[in-house]
Amino acid sequence: MSSAPQFSVIGGDVVNEVLDDPQAIVDLVRRAYVAHGEQQSVNPPSYFLRFPDRPDSRIIALPASLGGDFGVDGIKWISSFPGNITTGLPRASAVLILNDHETGYPFACLESSIISATRTAASAALAAAELHAGRTRPRTVTFFGTGLIARYIEKYLNGTGFEFDRISIFDTDERYAEGFRSYLAGQGRTAEIAVVPTAEEAIRSSDLVVFATTAGTPHVQELSWFAHNPTVLHISLRDLSPEIILGSTNIVDDVEHCLKADTSPHLAEQRTGNREFIDGTLYDVLTGKVRPGTDRPLVFSPFGLGVLDLAVGSTVYREARQRGLVAPVENFFHDLARHA
C-alpha cells in the first residue's frame, strides 16, 4: 500500500520569507504560463460563491492541475469582502490546498493571500516586460487603486528592473491614495510620487497604467483619455468600458476564462457578438506568435489562473521544507485501513 503524504500547514510569515526574489518568481510564473499554453494543465472555470445579503462580497474556488516540471494539483479558496477595508482588514483572504499528483492526498495548506498577490504581481510584471520587449520601457506609471495588489505590483515592477521618473496615484478615497504615497516614499523610491485629483489626469499623465481596484462595473468610459497609446495592466478586469476595449489591442491570459463574469472584455463580446477584438494571449506574446503594435492602447487583462497559484505555492512548500521552516502535522491522516 502506498503511504499517505505528510500534511503541513504553512503560515503567511513563512510564505513571505520564502518569496524573497521577485525576478525568480516572475521566471516561475513564465514557466507556468508556458506549461498552460502547451496544454500541460487543467484549469476549469472558477466557482463564485455569492451572498444575497452581501452582494459586493464573494468567495471564489479556483481548482487546477499543473503538469510539466510542476506535477501538482490543488485549489485556491479566496474571499473578497470589500467592506473589510473600512475596519482596517485587507479585502481578500485565502488558503491554498496542494494535492499529491499521484495519490490525490492533500499534503499542504498554505496561507495564500500573499501567494495570490505575488502571482498576480509577477504576472503583471512579466506582461509589462514582454509587451515592451524591443521597445523603450515606460518611465511614468499610474496606479488606480491602492490596496495590497497595487503594493505588490509596484514591488514587482521595481524588483524586475522598471525605473520610473514619476509615479501617479489615483484612488476614490484620498486617504488611501495618501497612504500609498507615504508607503512608496518610505521605500526610498527616487521617482516623483504624486496623488492626482482626477481619473483623466491619472491616465493621460502615464505611459503605463495599472488598474487594481474593487470596481464591479466600468468606471472609465473615455477612449480619448488613452490617445497617447499607453500600456494598461487591467488587473481588476472591470474598470474599462467596452468602447475602450474595442479601441485597443487586447492581450489576455486565457480567452475562455477572461470572457466571462461581466469583465470588460466579456462586456465587449456581448456588445459585438464576437471575440475578434482579442489579439492574443500572454503565451502568444511569450512565444513570439503575437507582437503587439504601438498604434493603439495596449491592454493586458488577466483573469487570474489557478495554475499560477499552484506554481508559486508548490515552490513555497518545497523551499520552506528545505529551509526547515515547516513541520508536518502529526497524525493528520488517521484511519487509512480499507477494512478496520
What's the chain's average pLDDT?
Answer: 95
283: three-class secondary structure by DSSP: helix
pLDDT tops 50 at residue 1: no
Query: What pLDDT score was predicted for residue 123?
Result: 98
Per the structure block, which three cell numbers stand in for 138? 515606460
Contact 320, 326 (CB under 8 A): yes
| Residue 127: pLDDT over 60 | yes
Q: What local confidence, expressed as pLDDT, does residue 246 receive?
A: 98
Q: What are phi and psi of 233, to 5 degrees?
A: -90, 95
pLDDT one-digit tens code per residue, 39-87:
999 999 999 999 999 999 999 999 999 999 999 999 999 999 989 988 9
Q: Which of 90, 68, 66 is nearest to 145 (CA)?
A: 90
Segments of the chain assigned to CATH 3.40.50.720: 123-301
Long-range residue pairs from 200-204, CB within 8 A, at least 24 positions apart, any chain: 200/225, 201/168, 201/170, 202/142, 202/144, 202/168, 202/169, 202/170, 203/142, 203/230, 204/228
Q: How many whole angstroms separate alpha carbon 210 and alpha carbon 140?
A: 11
Strand 58-66 to 47-50 pairing: antiparallel
Over residues 179-204, the mean pLDDT reads 96
Q: What SS3 string covers 89-130?
A: CCCEEEEEEEEECCCCCEEEEEECHHHHHHHHHHHHHHHHHH
Q: Which of 35, 251, 233 is nearest to 144 (CA)?
A: 233
Q: What is the pLDDT of residue 2?
A: 59
End-to-end CA gap in the chain: 15
Give CA–CA dist 12/45, Å, rounded: 27
E-strand ranges in 145-297 read: 166-170, 192-195, 208-211, 231-234, 249-252, 278-281
What is the pLDDT, as a whole number, of residue 134? 87
Superfamily covering domain 8-115+306-322: ornithine cyclodeaminase, domain 1 (3.30.1780.10)
Query: Which CATH architecture describes the domain 123-301?
Result: 3-Layer(aba) Sandwich (3.40)
What average pLDDT does this structure show over 218-226?
98
3-state secondary structure (DSSP) of residue 55: coil
Count other C-beta atoms under 10 Å from residue 206's C-beta. 25
In the chain, CATH 3.30.1780.10 covers: 8-115+306-322
